[in-house]
Structure formats: C-alpha cells, structure tokens
Amino acid sequence: MGKQNLLEIKDLVVEYQTDDAIIHAVNGVDLVVKEGETLGLVGETGAGKTTIARTILRILPKPQGIVRQGGIFFEGAELLSLHEKAMRKLRGNKIAMVFQDPMTALNPIERVGDQIAEAILLHNNMTKGEAIKRAQEMLEMVGIPGMRYVEYPHQFSGGMKQRVVIAMALACNPKLLLADEPTTALDVTIQAQVLRLINDLKEKVKASVLLITHDLGVVANTCQSVAVIYAGEIVEYGTAEQVFLNPSHPYTQGLFDSIPKLNSTEPRLKPIPGLMPDPTNLPVGCKFAERCRYAIEECKQQIPPNVELEPGHQVKCLLAGSRGEK
Amino acid sequence: MKSQRRGQLGEIWHRLKKNKFAVAGLVVVILVLLVTIFAPLLAPYSYDKQDLTKPFLKSTKEHLLGTDKFGRDTLSRLIWGSRNSMAMGLGCVALSSVLGITIGSIAGYFGGQVDNVIMRIMDTLTCIPMLLMCVVIAAILGPSVRNAIIAIGISTMPNSARLIRANILKVRNLEYVEAARAIDAKNYYIILKHIIPNAISPSIVAITMNIGNSILSGATLSFIGLGAQPPLAEWGCMLAEGRNFMRDHMELVLYPGLAIMITVLAFNVLGDGLRDALDPRLRN
Amino acid sequence: MSTLLETKNLKVYFKTGRGMLHAVDDVSFKLEEGKILGLVGESGCGKSTLGRAVLHLLEPTAGQIFYDGKDITYPTRSELRKLRREMQIIFQDPYSSLNPRMSVSATISEPLKLHGGLDKKEIEERTKALMETVGLAERFWGAYPHELDGGRRQRIGIARALALNPRFIVCDEPVSALDVSIQAQILNLLLDLREQRNLTYMFITHDLSVVKYISDEIMVMYLGQVVEKTISDELFSNTLHPYSKALLSAIPIPDIRFKSQLIPIEGEITSPIEPEPGCRFMVRCPYATEACTQPQVLEEIRPNHFVSCCRCREINHL
C-alpha cells in the first residue's frame, strides 16, 4: 500500500563447508523488509538468522561460508553480485549492523567517540573536527552525555556500551539496520530502554530494521512484520497482528505454547518435543515433520508449499488451513 | 553432533592429521627417536673409535659421511650423539615441566600468600641467566650432561610454572569446579581431576616447543664446554670440535648443524600443529 | 510442612580495592519443605551470591543459616560433608558447568564415587537410573559435553545434582541459556522431579514470566536487599514496590493486544560498594522523597506480603 520494499531476499541458500560435513544453514529463504518498518526474524539457535544477516552484509566467514543460490536486492541493486568495493560503500553506511555482544563489538583500546568518528569519516567527506562533532551528537541522541566522548569502553556498563554500538551503527544515517539479538545480553530494565531507543531513532532517521531475536515479547512490542524461521526456512510470515492473533504454522504455535506468559495461568507449559534437525543431515520433506503433532505421511516426503492464508500472511505447511484441531 | 563417536583425544588426533606440516614434523621426530633408541644397532662404529691414519676423510664407502680430526666416523658420532642431544632436550623439559607444573598448580589453585611467595621465587630464578647458572653448577658439581640438564631444567622451570598458573587461574573459576566442591570433593582431587587436565593444553604445546629449545641450549652448553665433555659424541660438541677446521672441512660443522636444525624444526612444527589441534576455537 | 531452610539477617560482603561490596545485605526468609522459592532480580542484585552462600560455596559474613532446624552457619568438616549430600546446585551455563574431559556417565557418577559406600555395579545402575529420570537416552553414556546440545547438557547437570538424593536444590538460572522450546522441557522436568521426590528449590532467575510459572513464593532483590517478598500470584496481582512495578512493566509481553507500557526506569544501577544507608533504589525511583534516605525496613503491608518501602502505602493507595 505505497510502502516500497527496501530489502528483498529471494530464494537464498547458504552453506558452511567444514572438513567433515556441509552445514545447510539457510535453505531457500524469501524475505521482504519494507521501508520504514521493523521486521522481526524469530527463531531459535541454529535456525539460520545470523547467517542471513551476515549474508546481507557479505561478511560470511571465508572460506567456509558459501552462497549457493539466491539474490538479495537492496534499493534495487543486487548485493551478492556487487563488487567488494561497492559493498564497502554500503556497509556501515547504508546498511548497518548491531551485534548481540557489546563487549566484543567495541575496540577496548580506542576511545568510544573516536570509534564513532572513524565510522563517519569512512563514508563521508568531512574534516576530523566535523566528524567528532557529529559523533558527539550521536552520543547525545542515544542518551549519553557528549562529553563522554573521551572515555573507553570499559568505563561504560553493558547497556551503555550497546547504546554506543547503536550510535556507531546509526552515525551515517543507514536506510537499513540489522540488529542481531541487540538486547539479549542486557538486563530487562535496560532492554526496555534500548528497545525504546531503537524504536525512537528508527522514526527519527527514517530507517528500516531487521530485528533478529528469539524473544516473542520483544517482537510483539517493536515489530510490524514477523517472519518465523526454522531449520533455515521461513515457515510463517505476516504482519505482527496476523502472526500473533492467528499463528498457523505448528512450530509458531508450539513456540507460543512453550513460553511462560505473565498474563495467563497455564497449569503446565507444552514444550515442543524433540530437537531441531541436524543441519548437516536435514530430513527430506518438511523439516518440522518429526516434531509436529499434525504430520501425515506426505509431510515427510514432499517440501511443503507456501500457502497464503490471507493477504500478506503466508505459511509453509501442507495442511495449512485444513487442519482439524487448530 | 558427530555421527562417529570420537572422544576428545580422537578429535585432537583427527585435527592434527590434517596439518601436513605437523604430520611431517611428527614423522621426523619419530625417526630421530628411533635413531636414538637403536643407536647401537645403527651406528657402524663406536663413537670414540679413533683411526689416526684416516683423518678428515670425505665420504667413502666405510665412512659414509667422512671422518673427523681423530679419524672417528662422523656418521657414527652423529647417531651416538643423538642420544646425548636428545637426553638434554627431553631431560631438561621433563625436569622443568614436572617441577614447573607442580609449583605453578599449587600457586594458581591456592592463590593468596602461597601464590605470592611462590611466584616471587620464580621471578628471582628468572633473573639468573641460564649461562650463569650453568657455570655455577659446573663449578660446584663439575661439567657434564647430567649437570647441564639440571641447570637448564631449573632455569626454564619458571616459564612452565607461569604458563600453567595462568591457565589454572582461568579454569578454577569455572562452574564445574564449583560443582565438584558442591559434592564435597577434596582440594587435591579437584586439582588433579578437574583443573590440571583442562589447564594443561598450552603446557603440552609448550613442552613440545621447549624440547627444540632445550636441544639448542644443550648444544650451546656443550659448545662452550659446560655440557657434554669429549670424547662423548654430542651435536654441540661436534660443532665445537669442527669449528677450527671449518674452512677446509666444512662438513664437520655442516652435518651436526643440520642434525640440530632438522630435529629442532621438527619439534617446533609438531608443537605448532598440536596447538592448532588443541585449540577448540579454531573449529569451524 | 516444616521449614527446611531459613536465614536470619544474612550478609555476604566482599573486600574490594574500593571498599566493602555488599553483595547480600540483611536477607531473612523461611522456605518450607517441598516448596519453590523464586529469587528474582537483575544483574548485581545478589541472588546468585545468596544461593551459593546458603550452600557454603561462599562464606557468609554475618547472620545465620538454618537447615532442618539446625544452625549451619559455621559447620564442622563432617557436618559440611553431610550437608553437601542434602543440598545441591544446578548451574546456569550448560557449557562451563560440565568438565569437557569427562563423559556423561563419569560426570553423573562422580558424586556417587566420591561419597563411597557403593560398588562398581551399584554405581553403574544408579547412573543409568538417573539418566533415565532426566530423559537422557542410554546411548549418551560415553558421550562428551561438546557433542551435545544445551538442553541435554543441562539434563546432565540435573542428573548430577540428583545423584546423592538431596532434599534441597539451588537452581541458578537453569534455563536462561537454553532455547525457548527446550526451556519448557527443562522447567517441566524440574516440576516433575519436585513432585516425585518432594524436593525443595531455591529458583534463581531474572525472568519474571519463568519465576511466576514455577515458584510458590517469590523474593524480589535489588542491590543485595530484598525489596518485596510474597506468594507468587499475589506479587503479580498486587505489585507494591516501585522496583517490582518497573521490572514488571519492562517485560515485553508476547501478546499483540497488550501494547505494554514499557515504562523504562531511567538511569543505571548504583554501586554495591559501600552503599549509602537508605533505599538503594532511590536514585532511580519516580516516587523518591526525603524519607527514603532512612534505612528501609521489610514490613508486612498485606497478609504474608512484605515490602521494603517507606512510601509503599501511599503509592498504592492502601
């Protein structure tokens, strides 16, 4: 409805090649991030979320990470075939990333202000003085007094370090912010501050956010669209309302059933039995079939189709819409 | 999850095998050790059999690598010499590791004053140059291979101690150590069963690397007369004896020099490979 | 129901270069046998320290600890050995809580070997039984931790904790490092075990939803002190302390209809080193006044609901 697609991922397949086996991390992913919105990419460890983020920025570990097929379109340009020089102009500039662990994202022997200024100077034609001034503005924008420019990372708490990382990411006014579990390592009250910060700043600089998380609560409070990822595939995609009010994939439902909620009084949680399949040895057919209580024979033999339940709400399930017990 | 069950040692061996250099180093080390063990069977002559009628021969059928000033067969002296050189290499490392690991473990595990006192003693030892220590020990006990081993062993012990202490400091705060305390395990049990096995990997690598260094140190000491005494065959001694004749008979220096170089290189390369194989972070 | 564990004015302080660190400051509680006490708070609140002090993995600085009616604050060597059989711990990190060089069976049977009295066959049988109890397939007998995922590793830790048939277990954030779908499995396992063996837990976590699900009683801690203590349901239906309120409102609820207020409290946590007397939450509290500089006292505001806040009644219109 007027919103353009800022980022489009089509049929992405990514593998990691180790000495012993091939890890099928991403198996045919289609994703869309619209302008000005936050897309929540929800999944558990090993589902492939971080791999997708790294592939967008083309920072997969070499030589293990290999993109087997697919395309990533950003503002029309296809990223995977871009020359490294052109890619460098985008990284940190138009597409920025915030990682999970603020401890390792910052250089411990450089002043925080300098680290922000460095990012600015890389992509802009400014004098050092101008970059420093802009770095101080960014610090203020994330709620840190500008005069703390001269301090070192160890002088900041975990929450403040993450704010510095966000300041660095937003310093060049990116169009797309990739946030990989940005608040998982933080205390709950600090998490609330940082999430609100990301939301506010996103409005201010008019950026879109791809928020990677395992926390459905975070998704409910910050995201307009949701994509649920399992074993390297998007099993459900839709607006936040659609996915939360009408979770249709058995895995999504299982996730909701297995988390303790403050506003309900379930006598017992219903965990999803079993484990995610071994990425070096994926099953044929639906990858969730062995844990799914609705699975029939066909599920284990064919790849489930992508079914559109309602406009904008897609589910990758053979039995979508026709299951008895839902 | 691996489908083949390997266990930790199996994993390490598997990773080591993939490193071609490390495997080559291992092969050379094994070869040298075999020569050392089977020296009496391999050497055509005894190491001190002189034949003053045939000095300074170049390669002949009876003396494949020629002879030295006293007509002694160079090949035999190299083979017999491996025993003394390796004795110094392995002996020093064994002494310094056993002492160093014991002392360093106690310092690292108990901390506090115990740690302070022990490490200050180690610091003092470090200040004494190895050569000086050897001269002193040689003056008191007389120069010999055994005393050279003692001198080198004691002067390299502080490094061993420091290395294991650093790793013990890391390991002792891990939760599985706390878990052992929670089931009322005694201190010595915790150190032996939980802490040392998990802190020792860097020390194992260091041991392998130090063998090379110790061989060099031993050769150096023998070279200046403080280690193996003539007529013992030892590669450093052979270097010393050949030095005066280097201009016309370079092979007298070349062969022992090569022997030292290849052996030390093999140990170092093996040590490097071991370190890579033991480091879990290098796994994909 | 008798009281299994009790503390009176327990303090655990550490000497640092900059002064005394008040990790646990004047904590008193009673835990009945068969119940689960949830200890909730953010980093630095002292919950982990309290759990370890009760087990004598850390030494208490002052105050008293009672187990089964006896004063165990300064136990003798043989008393401690007996206690260690009855009081166990499950750790948070399934990676660092297992010795990487010991197989699954070795880790689980270690407590049995150390406390003697059993021959090899009995130990093997007991270990197999423990593995079955926690849901570890027999094929993992000789497996090593690095071959297994977080959930299975945590089960090993639980089996190890159960080996000596304890009555009381400190669960230190046992599911925080696990994936969501595995968390539920482990939480249910802990509840099943409690029922089968009449265990008593001190369940430490920072996750309010988890603590609500599993606890009978809850203590909210902030910077070493207990700020609110009551029955689980009561805490959530009548949250009284400003910090508890803030903590609750900061939790993002996975429900699209409850666009939560997310009232983030400003500021950062203050230092636990040589803290000022008076309420430690004062600097960040929206209701702070002069009266808050006085030392706060844990008062019974509602039946069996204790709060440490001098303005509590005012703020909640009671």
pLDDT digits (tens, 9 = 90+) for B219-249: 888 888 888 887 888 888 888 888 888 888 8
Return the bridge partners of C39, or none. C204, C219
CB contact under 8 A, B180 and C110: yes
Query: Which percentage of chain A shows pLDDT scores above 90?
Result: 44
Token pair, residue C273, equals: 């080193």
How many cross-chain Cβ pairs, A to C, lie less than 8 Å apart?
A: 127
Answer yes or no: is pLDDT of B55 > 70: yes
Token pair, residue C87, equals: 């009081």
| A19 or C263, which is more confident | A19
Where does the pLDDT of residue A325 fall: very low under 50, low under 70, confident under 90, or very high at 90 and above? very low
- Distance from C-alpha of A32 to C-alpha of A8, rounded to nearest angstrom: 5
Of B1, B3, B284, the CB nearest to A18: B284
Tell me the pTM: 0.84
Hey, is A174 helix, strand or coil? coil
- Give the pLDDT of residue B7: 61
Question: In chain C, what are the domain boundaries?
Answer: 242-318
Radius of gyration of chain A (CA): 21
Lowest mean pLDDT among A4-8, C3-7, C95-99, C257-261: C257-261
Query: Which percentage of chain B shows pLDDT scores above 70?
Result: 95
- Distance from C-alpha of A269 to C-alpha of C188, rounded to nearest angstrom: 7
Q: What is the pLDDT of residues A23-32, one digit of tens each?
A: 999 999 999 9
Q: What is the pLDDT of residues C55-89, one digit of tens each?
A: 999 999 999 999 999 999 999 999 999 999 999 99
Contact B179, C160 (CB under 8 A): yes
CB contact under 8 A, A19 and B2: no
**Chain A hits for B284, Cβ within 8 Å:** 16, 18-19, 23, 61, 64
Of A221, A244, A260, the CB nearest to C209: A260
**Chain C hits for B172, Cβ within 8 Å:** none
Of C179, C212, C247, the CB nearest to A260: C212
The four Cα atoms A231, C142, C131, B183 give a dihedral, to 10 degrees, of -120
In chain B, the DSSP E strands lie at: none
Of B2, B183, B185, the CB nearest to C147: B2
Average pLDDT, chain B: 86
Contacts of C139 (CB under 8 A, 6+ apart): none
CB contact under 8 A, C84 and B179: no
Give the orientation angle of helix C150-162 with respect to helix C104-114, to 10 degrees.
Answer: 20
CA distance A269 to chain B (A): 27
- Give the pLDDT of residue B280: 56
Query: ipTM of this predicted complex?
Result: 0.86
CB contact under 8 A, C111 and B1: no
Of B1, B18, B284, the CB nearest to A16: B284
Token pair, residue A45, equals: 């460890």
**Chain C hits for A222, Cβ within 8 Å:** 252
Query: Which percentage of chain B shows pLDDT scores above 90?
Result: 30
- Cβ of B9 under 8 Å from any chain C Cβ? no
What is the arithmetic mean of pLDDT over C209-216?
A: 92
| Probe site for chain A from C213, C234, C271 (most A CB atoms < 10 A) | C213
Answer yes or no: is pLDDT of A302 > 80: yes
- Distance from C-alpha of A209 to C-alpha of A37, rounded to nearest angstrom: 6
Answer yes or no: is pLDDT of A63 > 90: no
Nearest by Cα to B241 from B78, B39, B13: B78
Of B174, B178, B184, the CB nearest to C80: B184
Q: What is the pLDDT of residues A209-266, one digit of tens each?
A: 999 998 898 999 899 999 999 999 999 999 999 999 999 999 999 999 888 887 777 7
Q: What is the pLDDT of residues C293-312, one digit of tens each?
A: 888 888 899 999 999 999 98
CB contact under 8 A, C256 and A241: yes
Nearest by Cα to B215 from B199, B239, B241, B186: B239
CB contact under 8 A, B2 and A20: yes
What is the arithmetic mean of pLDDT over C203-225?
A: 93
CB contact under 8 A, C247 and A189: yes
CA distance C42 to chain A (A): 6
Token pair, residue C28, equals: 């008193």
CA distance C29 to chain A (A): 25
Answer yes or no: is pLDDT of A4 > 60: yes
- Give the pLDDT of residue B119: 94
Contact B79, B39 (CB under 8 A): yes
Secondary structure letter of residue B195 according to DSSP: I
Nearest by Cα to B213 from B104, B98, B96: B96
Contact A131, A168 (CB under 8 A): no
- Distance from C-alpha of B85 to C-alpha of B237, rounded to nearest angstrom: 10
Average pLDDT, chain C: 91
- Distance from C-alpha of C280 to C-alpha of C296, rounded to nearest angstrom: 9
CB contact under 8 A, A263 and C265: no
What is the arithmetic mean of pLDDT over C249-277?
A: 78
- Cβ of B20 under 8 Å from any chain A Cβ? no
How many cross-chain Cβ pairs, A to B, lie less than 8 Å apart?
A: 10
φ, ψ (nearest 5 deg) of residue A66: -130, 130
CA distance B284 to chain A (A): 6
What is the arithmetic mean of pLDDT over A35-41?
A: 93
Query: Which percentage of chain C shows pLDDT scores above 90?
Result: 65
- Give the pLDDT of residue C261: 61
Residue of A nearest to C212 (CA): A262
Report how far Cα B172 is from the mean position of its chain's Cα atoms: 28
- Cβ of A16 under 8 Å from any chain B Cβ? yes
Contacts of B199 (CB under 8 A, 6+ apart): B105, B108, B164, B167, B168, B170, B171
Where does the pLDDT of residue A326 fall: very low under 50, low under 70, confident under 90, or very high at 90 and above? very low
The four Cα atoms C87, C93, C97, C103 give a dihedral, to 10 degrees, of 120
CA distance B201 to chain C (A): 12
- Cβ of C265 under 8 Å from any chain B Cβ? no
Of A19, A23, A278, the CB nearest to B18: A19
Contacts of A101 (CB under 8 A, 6+ apart): A185
- Cβ of A99 under 8 Å from any chain B Cβ? no
Q: How far is the CA of A228 from the CAs of A13, A153, A237, A314, C235, in angstroms?
A: 17, 34, 6, 10, 33
Give the orientation angle of helix B74-110 with respect to helix B145-171, to 10 degrees.
Answer: 40
Q: What is the pLDDT of residues A104-130, one digit of tens each?
A: 888 989 999 999 999 889 888 889 899
Residue with tokens 């320290």: C49
- Cβ of B172 under 8 Å from any chain C Cβ? no
Contact B80, B35 (CB under 8 A): no
In chain C, the DSSP E strands lie at: 3-16, 19-32, 36-40, 62-67, 70-71, 87-90, 168-172, 200-205, 217-222, 225-231, 299-302, 305-307
The answer to whether the peptide bond before residue A63 is cis (omega within 30 degrees of 0) is yes
Contact B236, B85 (CB under 8 A): yes
- Looking at residue C41, its amino acid is G
What is the arithmetic mean of pLDDT over C227-248?
A: 92
Answer yes or no: is pLDDT of A321 > 80: no
Q: What does chain A come to in residues? A: 326
Answer yes or no: is pLDDT of A324 > 50: no
- Cβ of B175 under 8 Å from any chain C Cβ? yes
- Distance from C-alpha of B55 to C-alpha of A233, rounded to nearest angstrom: 80
Answer yes or no: is pLDDT of A2 > 60: no
Answer yes or no: is pLDDT of B45 > 90: no
Q: What is the pLDDT of residues B157-186, one digit of tens each?
A: 999 999 999 999 989 889 999 999 999 999
